[in-house]
Structure 1
Amino acid sequence: MDRAPGEVQASLPDDLARWRDQVEIRIQPATGDKGTELRAKPGGEVSHHELRLALRRAKAVLEAGEVVRPDTAPTHPGPLGKALQLVTNRAGGGGRL
Structure 2
Amino acid sequence: MNRLARTALVLAGAGAGAAALRGAATARRRARENGSRWMVVTINRAPTDVMPRDTPPSPLDEFGDALEITVRPAPGDRGTELAARLREPAPPASASLPSRLAGKDPRQGVRRALREAKSLLEAGEVMLPDAPPTGRGDTAGGKAVGLASKRAGGEGVL
TM-score (norm 2): 0.51
Q: Which amino acid aligns with 1:40?
A: A
- State the match for 2:70 in structure 1: 26
* 8 Å CA contact retained: 2:69, 2:82: yes
CA distance in 2, matches of 1:89, 1:49: 11
Offset of 1:73 from its aligned partner? 4.1
**2:96 is equivalent to residue 37 of structure 1:** no
Aligned residue in 2 for 1:14: 58
**Which stretches of structure 1, 4 residues or more, deviate above 3 A after TM superposition?**
none
Residue 47 of structure 1: CA displacement? Answer: 1.0
For the residue of structure 1 that corresponds to 2:60, the secondary structure is: helix
Query: Identity, % of aligned pairs?
Result: 45
Aligned residues: 93
Tell me, what secondary structure is at the counterpart of 2:153?
A: coil
Matched, 1:65 2:107: no
Shift in CA distance, 2/89, structure 1 to aligned 2, threshold 3 Å: same
Q: Deviations over 1:3-40 (max 9, x none)?
A: 11111002743211121411111111000000100111
Q: Secondary structure at the match of 1:19?
A: helix
1:74 is displaced (CA, Å) by: 4.2
Name the Cα RMSD after superposition.
Answer: 2.4
* Residue 128 (structure 2) pairs with residue 88 (structure 1): no
Q: What per-residue deviation string (whole Å, max 9, x for no partner) do you get for residues 49-91 of structure 1?
A: 1111111111111111111113434425532321211221233
Say if 1:18 and 1:72 are closer, same or farther in 2 by CA, change over 3 A: same
2:47 is equivalent to residue 5 of structure 1: yes
User: Does structure 2 retain, via aligned residues, the 8 Å contact 1:42–1:48?
Assistant: yes
Pair member with larger Rg: 2
Deviates further, 44-53 or 21-30: 44-53
In structure 1, C-alpha distance between the alignment counterparts of 2:153 and 2:83, rounded to whole Å: 19
More helix by share: 2
